[in-house]
Amino acid sequence: MRNLKKWLRWVLVVVLVVVGLALVFNEQLKELGIGIMSNHAADQKIERVTPADKKHATFNYSGVEAANISNMLKAMRSNPSVIGKIAIPSDDIYLPIYYGVSNYILLKGAGTLSPTQKMGEGNYALASHHMPNNKLLFSALGKTKLKSKIYLTDGKRVYIYKTYSKKIVNEDNTSVLNVIPGKKICTLITCRTWHPGVTQRIIVQGKLEKIKKANDNSLVVFDHKSNLPKVFLKMHMGY
């Protein structure tokens, strides 16, 4: 009996240590997972939206949860189709684009806010998370400057936009998603900060300037830079 109590006491200590470490390194684990996923997806081939993508898609951005370990693990197990890519070189943003804004999708890259939107037409809207690490997802939108170039590709063409508007709005302001007659724009959305419960959104909008055929020369802008945490790169990749 005494040995059993001693064994249970040690099990409890181990469990508490593991839980404590998980809490301490929670953010680092999330950053590592997100960095690995977005870097891997950035190298994937662009595909069409599949029936599976449509089945699991949601376009309710207001229902998106804050980034957490549970959703990150779901994201790592998921395999949605990469339907495009976005690059904002001035802000070191290089991400895959997915269909919809499911919680797991927004931890892998940028998600579309409408099932019918098309690059180069109307108002092409994308959303992603804001993380403590400015190199992840849409975290760097807060420093985007006017006249910055936004590059989108669907694998067939490259669409070049120039930012003309940057503002902060409340989460219930959906007017930023409206199609503006006679204009072809893109709209990028993320939370104002990474803190859970934040109700304001950063909105960056760009006007379509040019469309190019997708080839080796025009696609070079999407060559992504590693956004893995520096400590991981130093320990495991010799950077």
Catalogue the active-site residues: 129, 191
Which residues in 197-233 are b (16+ Cβ under 10 Å) and which e?
Answer: eeeebbbbbbebeeeeebeeebbebbebebbbbeebe
The three-point CA angle 56-27-70 to 5° equals 30
Q: Are 135 and 148 in contact (CB under 8 A)?
A: no
Of 190, 177, 186, 187, nearest in space to 137 by CA = 190
Helices (H) and strands (E) in the chain, counts: 6, 8
Of 134, 115, 133, 114, nearest in space to 125 by CA = 114
Using CA atoms, how far residue 6 sits from 9, 18, 19, 115, 196, in Å, is: 5, 19, 20, 58, 40
